[in-house]
């Protein structure tokens, strides 16, 4: 008997594909080696720091728009595992974490170390990149 499989090709950075498969990559793995996509007017006005580009692989910044990961709109000050419409791991839902600068820094440094069993696997080892990401997340009200 022959089986036919449909394969969906995703245009995601390597880090997003690794995250979806449970792997990990160095922080700079998402740095494009080819020419970037042409700039659009929204890309030119996007206040997100370059360090946030790896986050965009899985997370939206628009309220109500979850992707591979939950939207990050309004995440600062919220309780972990409570973004509507996203299926969080039981570990994160039960963590009791409230996202503030300190908890976000620890999370980004090592999500699986902070909450074993979480779905997020990609750490951000560079403190300056974590700070830039957190500064940006604070603007997403």
Kindly tell me the burial class for residue 66, based on how many C-beta atoms sit within 10 Å of its own C-beta (0-12, 13-18, 19 or more).
middle
Q: Number of helices (H) and strands (E), helices first, in the chain? A: 7, 0
- Kindly report which listed range (44-48, 79-83, 88-92) carries the lowest average pLDDT score: 44-48
- For residues 93 and 82, give the distance between their C-alpha atoms in angstroms, rounded to a whole number: 7
- pLDDT-derived band at 47, boundaries 50, 70, 90: confident
pLDDT digits (tens, 9 = 90+) for 15-36: 443 444 334 444 443 433 333 3
Average pLDDT over residues 112-138: 97
Terminal CA-CA length for the chain: 54
Per-residue pLDDT averaged across 77-102, rounded? 97
pLDDT band at 4 (very low <50, low <70, confident <90, very high): very low
CATH class label, 48-137: mainly alpha
pTM, rounded to two decimals: 0.69
Give the helix ranges, DSSP H, for 1-98.
14-20, 41-45, 53-56, 90-93
Nearest to 93 by CA among 78, 105, 108: 78
Residue ranges of domains in the chain: 48-137
Give the model's confidence band at 45: pLDDT under 50 very low, under 70 low, under 90 confident, else very high. Answer: low
- d(Cα 139, Cα 22) in Å, to the nearest integer? 29
- Give the C-alpha separation, 93 to 90, whole Å: 5
């Amino acid at each position: 008997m022959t089986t036919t499989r449909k394969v969906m090709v995703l245009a995601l950075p390597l880090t997003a594909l690794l995250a979806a498969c449970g792997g990990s990559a160095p922080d700079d793995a998402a740095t494009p080696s080819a020419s970037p996509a042409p700039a659009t007017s929204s890309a030119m006005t996007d206040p997100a720091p370059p360090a946030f580009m790896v986050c965009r692989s899985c997370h939206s910044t628009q309220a109500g728009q979850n992707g591979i990961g939950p939207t990050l709109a309004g995440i600062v000050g919220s309780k972990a595992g409570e973004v509507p419409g996203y299926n969080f791991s039981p570990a994160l839902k039960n963590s009791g974490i409230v996202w503030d600068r300190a908890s976000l820094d620890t999370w980004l440094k090592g999500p699986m170390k902070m909450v074993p069993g979480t779905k997020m696997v990609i750490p951000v080892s560079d403190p300056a990149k974590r700070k830039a990401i957190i500064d940006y997340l604070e603007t997403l009200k």
